[in-house]
Amino acid sequence: MDGTSDSTAPEIAAVDHKSADNVTLFFGLKRGSLTANGNTNGSSSTMGQDTTITVAAYPLRRRFFVMVLPVLGAALTGLLIAVALALSASVERAYEADAARRNTLLLSAVATAVPDAFDILVHNRPPNDEMTMRAQDVLNAEVHELALSCAAILTPSGRLAESEKACPALSARDWKVLSAPGATLFREVAGPPLVWMVASVVFSPSGRPVVVVTAQPATVQERAIGWNTLAWVGGLALALTAATGLATLLVVRAQREIDRRTAALAEARTALARFVSLHTRRNALSGKSARRCEATVLFMDIRDFSSFAEAVPPETAAELVTKIAEIGFAAVIETGGDVDRLTGDGLIARFDGKDRTDRAWRAAEAILSRLAAIAPARSVGIGLSDGEVVEATIVAGDRADATILGRTVNLGARLCSAAEGGEIVATAAMRMPPPSVNLVTTEAETLALKGHRAPVSACRYTLMTCKQVVH
Contact (Cβ atoms closer than 8 angstroms) between residue 419 and residue 304: no
Considering all CA atoms of the chain, what is the largest pairwise distance in Å, rounded to the nearest integer? 148
- The reply to whether 293 and 433 lie within a common domain is yes
- The reply to whether 292 and 334 lie within a common domain is yes
Asked whether residue 210 is domain-assigned, the answer is: yes
Asked whether residue 232 is domain-assigned, the answer is: no
- Among candidate residues 199, 223, 247, the one where a domain is terminated: 223
* Other beta carbons less than 10 A from residue 261's beta carbon: 12
User: Which amino acid does the sequence have at 470?
Assistant: V
Asked whether residue 127 is domain-assigned, the answer is: yes
- Among candidate residues 223, 258, 289, the one where a domain is terminated: 223
Measuring CA to CA, which residue among 190, 186, 147 is closest to residue 165? 147
d(CA 251, CA 149): 57
d(CA 334, CA 349): 12
* Other beta carbons less than 10 A from residue 306's beta carbon: 17
- The reply to whether 31 and 85 lie within a common domain is no
- The reply to whether 36 and 93 lie within a common domain is no
Asked whether residue 446 is domain-assigned, the answer is: yes
| Domain of residue 328, CATH code | 3.30.70.1230
Asked whether residue 395 is domain-assigned, the answer is: yes
Torsion, CA 21, CA 26, CA 27, CA 33, rounded to 10: 140
d(CA 149, CA 212): 14
Contact (Cβ atoms closer than 8 angstroms) between residue 456 and residue 427: yes
- The reply to whether 299 and 176 lie within a common domain is no
Measuring CA to CA, which residue among 302, 295, 453 is closest to residue 386? 295
Contact (Cβ atoms closer than 8 angstroms) between residue 201 and residue 154: no
- Give whole-number Cα distances, 274 to 268, 342, 344, in Å: 10, 11, 15
Contact (Cβ atoms closer than 8 angstroms) between residue 426 and residue 385: yes
- The reply to whether 366 and 321 lie within a common domain is yes
User: Model confidence over 55-112: pLDDT tens digits?
Assistant: 678 888 888 888 888 888 888 888 888 888 888 888 888 888 988 998 888 888 888 8
Strand partners, 152: 162, 213
The three-state (H, E, C) secondary structure of 14-36, written as one string: HHHHCCHHHHHCCCCCCCCCECC
Contact (Cβ atoms closer than 8 angstroms) between residue 337 and residue 35: no
Asked whether residue 75 is domain-assigned, the answer is: yes
Q: What is the pLDDT along the chain (471 residues), one digit of tens a residue?
A: 444 334 333 333 333 333 333 333 333 343 433 333 333 333 333 344 455 556 678 888 888 888 888 888 888 888 888 888 888 888 888 888 988 998 888 888 888 877 776 665 545 566 667 777 887 888 888 888 888 888 888 877 667 778 888 888 888 888 888 888 888 999 888 877 888 899 998 876 666 778 899 988 887 777 777 777 778 788 888 888 898 889 999 999 999 999 999 888 888 877 776 666 666 666 665 656 678 889 999 999 999 998 999 999 999 999 999 999 999 999 999 999 999 888 888 899 999 999 999 999 999 999 999 999 999 999 999 999 999 999 887 778 777 777 888 899 999 999 999 999 999 999 988 889 998 888 988 778 888 888 777 888 899 999 987 545 444
d(CA 102, CA 456): 120
The three-state (H, E, C) secondary structure of 141-176, written as one string: HHHHHHCCCEEEEEECCEEEEECCCCCCCCCHHHHH
Asked whether residue 266 is domain-assigned, the answer is: no
DSSP secondary structure code for residue 40 in this structure: B
3-class state of residue 375 by DSSP: coil
Give 92: exposed, middle or buried? Use CB within 10 Å, 0-12, 13-18, 19+.
Answer: middle
| Domain of residue 101, CATH code | 3.30.450.20
DSSP secondary structure code for residue 180 in this structure: S
User: Which amino acid does the sequence have at 414?
Assistant: R
Residue numbers of the domain that contains 193: 61-223
Asked whether residue 265 is domain-assigned, the answer is: no
d(CA 303, CA 305): 5
- The reply to whether 215 and 334 lie within a common domain is no
3-class state of residue 186 by DSSP: strand
- The reply to whether 306 and 367 lie within a common domain is yes
User: Which amino acid does the sequence have at 91?
Assistant: V
The model's pTM is: 0.51
Contact (Cβ atoms closer than 8 angstroms) between residue 107 and residue 210: yes
- The reply to whether 284 and 211 lie within a common domain is no
d(CA 450, CA 459): 17
> Pairing state of beta strands 423-427 and 380-396?
parallel
Residues in CB range of 243: below 8 A, 6 or more apart:
none
What's residue 81's pLDDT? 87
Strand partners, 211: 154, 201
- Among candidate residues 205, 223, 241, the one where a domain is terminated: 223
Contact (Cβ atoms closer than 8 angstroms) between residue 213 and residue 198: yes
- The reply to whether 202 and 91 lie within a common domain is yes
- The reply to whether 22 and 91 lie within a common domain is no
Q: pLDDT above 90 covers what percent of the chain?
A: 26
d(CA 297, CA 412): 6
Q: Please list, residue by residue across 37-71, b when 16 or more beta carbons sit within 10 angstroms of its beta carbon and e when fewer do.
A: ebeeeeebbeebbbbbeeeebeebbeebeeeeeee
* Distance, CA of 123 to chain centre: 84
Number of domains in the chain: 2
d(CA 163, CA 147): 12
- The reply to whether 79 and 183 lie within a common domain is yes
Torsion, CA 69, CA 73, CA 76, CA 78, rounded to 10: -140
